[in-house]
Amino acid sequence: MKQSYLTGLWLALLAAPSLSAATPLTSGHTDVGIGYEGAFDLHVHDEENDIEYAPDEAILVVGSAGLQFSPGGNFSFLGPAGTPVWVLPEEENPELLFLGIGAEELAPADWTGNVTLSLTSVTGPGNFYLWNVNSFGVPSVKMDSADGITGADNVSVIPGSHSHYNWGFSTPGTYSVSFEATGLNVLDGPQNSGPVAFQFQVVPEPGTWALAAVGAGALALLGRRSLG
């Protein structure tokens, strides 16, 4: 699997020359970081190696091990049962990037209330989803580009906190996903980062679409085990 994964990644990067100079991050703990020094600083923080990248200097890779299938029902926002979706999960998987939202750099005393991280645009071959799942296995959708991007596509971020979500994509390929941070700084007043684009590469495993043709009932069962 590893060889086919690396081959797929190499081919994908060749097909996206605009990303070829950026550093692909394929596994380990990494965050979309929110900092502030007179203005918001959105960045990528490789926690494993303690390296910060500007958003255009890193590629957040969704490897082939992220392939799951929608169970339908409460997860129907991902498509009908059996629909393939590529996910960076909120629970750590050593084969995948463990992607969080990190606001540890924000001092809670400097902010009135929480900071809001909003989805502003998605460019790519498919849809982007962000959600978490409670202890009863029920999803809470935070962002969903499939039904149009509105002010409801956001997460509330507590200054000084760290959180994880499921990051999903409907189709393999290259995505540019833009987020915007807003908040009320005690000294500086209302702050807005403006849209900041992060680069994602979703890499399929050969035979993915053949797998998608398997009976929907079996796929739904697999999806329940993976997504729940």
The larger pLDDT score, comparing residue 154 to residue 17, is at: 154
Tokens of 29: 């703990």
Query: Which residues 6+ apart lie within 8 Å of 3 measured at CB?
Result: none
Tell me whether residue 223 is exposed, middle or buried, using C-beta atoms within 10 angstroms of its C-beta: 0 to 12, 13 to 18, 19 or more.
Answer: buried
Average pLDDT over residues 101-120: 98
pLDDT, average across residues 8-20? 46
Count: domains in the chain: 1
pLDDT of residue 16 exceeding 60: no
Question: Which domain covers residue 35, as residue numbers?
Answer: 2-227
Task: Return the number of other C-beta atoms located less than 10 Å from residue 115's C-beta.
Answer: 24
Is pLDDT of 213 > 50?
Answer: no
Which token pair is 186? 């005690």
pLDDT tops 80 at residue 209: no
Tokens at 17, concatenated: 């020359």
By the 8 A CB rule, do 82 and 212 touch?
yes
The C-alpha atoms of residue 28 and residue 92 are separated, in whole angstroms, by 8
Max Cα-Cα span within the chain: 58
d(CA 72, CA 70): 5
Q: Is the pLDDT of residue 51 over 90?
A: yes
pLDDT tens per residue across span 62-94: 999 999 999 999 999 999 999 999 999 999 999
The number of residues making up the chain comes to 228
pLDDT value of position 127: 98
Q: What is the mean pLDDT of the chain?
A: 86
User: Comparing 102 with 9, which gets the higher pLDDT?
Assistant: 102
Sorted by sequence, the CB contacts under 8 Å of residue 102 that are 6+ apart come out as 31, 32, 33, 34, 45, 47, 162
Q: Return the closest-CA partner of residue 90 out of 82, 101, 81, 79.
A: 101
Output DSSP code: residue 222: H
The predicted pLDDT at position 205 comes to 65
CA 133, 134, 136, 138 dihedral sign is negative
| pLDDT score at 14 | 40
